[in-house]
Amino acid sequence: MSLPKHVKIVEVGPRDGLQNEPMPVPVEVKVALVEKLVDAGLPVVEVGSFVSPKWVPQMAGSAEVYTGIQKRLGINYPMLVPNAKGMEGALAAGVKEIAIFAAASEAFTQKNINCSISESLERFQVVMEQAKAHGIKVRGYVSCVLGCPYEGEIAIAKVAEVSKQLYQMGCYEVSLGDTIGVGTPLKAQRMVEEVAQYVPIEKLAAHFHDTYGQGLANLFAVMQLGVSVIDSSVSGLGGCPYAKGASGNVATEDVLYMLNGMGIETGVSLDKVLEAGRLISNHLERLPASKLGRVLL
């Protein structure tokens, strides 16, 4: 069995985690959360999103969060950009890296951004051109890679096709999202094997939600194929506003515990991530959603 010696963890809690929380989180708390996560050694922390606060209220103030952070050399602070208008906001804030999101499900795409998959990719062409002109790195997301709340099973050929298009458009990395957490290990492996025919395995990331408790098992399964980038959310925060019933992304604390136990390097302090988890959980007036956070309570 072959496993990577080092895994890059992409922390998505401040964006993907908080976007579905019912309690408002003020800018200063978001800034403190991001800075604690960076202090823990996380090399990538997704800060927020330039979406309309009408549709995703928790992402209001994302520009202020981004500009309020004390940036550190060598750390990436991506912001989600859904369209050309969002790109205007990113440019105004001086963002150096963005993320764009597509989906492998037509129904999910319609519910999420009110267009077809092909139309969504056409919209992103404009964003990609602007990003290239301003020297901004772009990361791509593909949602619903292992199932859709509206369509059910998703053909892995469709996942591969959307991933290939994002990569060919210029995304330096493509994150494969099990948005509703229905995947199981062998399905996750088959999906990654298919996508890897079109996108190099070292350019792929695993973004697995833990709705049915399969997140860590699925990560372990795709790591055996060579995936060495993992998206996770501090304290297991999150869900998806357009995928009812989806729980949070797999918790960063639980991912670190697993990787540390296997001797896989991350450069991240588990203790400091736990501190960050306590900070945001206390603000949200709830217990940590990570298994490890609850055990240590």
Enumerate the active-site residues.
240
DSSP string, 188-252: HHHHHHHHTTTS-GGGEEEEEB-TTS-HHHHHHHHHTTT--EEEEBGGG----TTSTT--PBPBH
Nearest to 9 by CA among 269, 242, 218, 286: 269
Beta bridge partners of 152: 148
Short-list 271, 183, 179, 251, CA closest to 11:
251
Q: What is the chain's length? A: 297
Identify the CA nearest to 233 among candidates 192, 177, 162: 177
Distance CA 270, CA 136 (A): 30
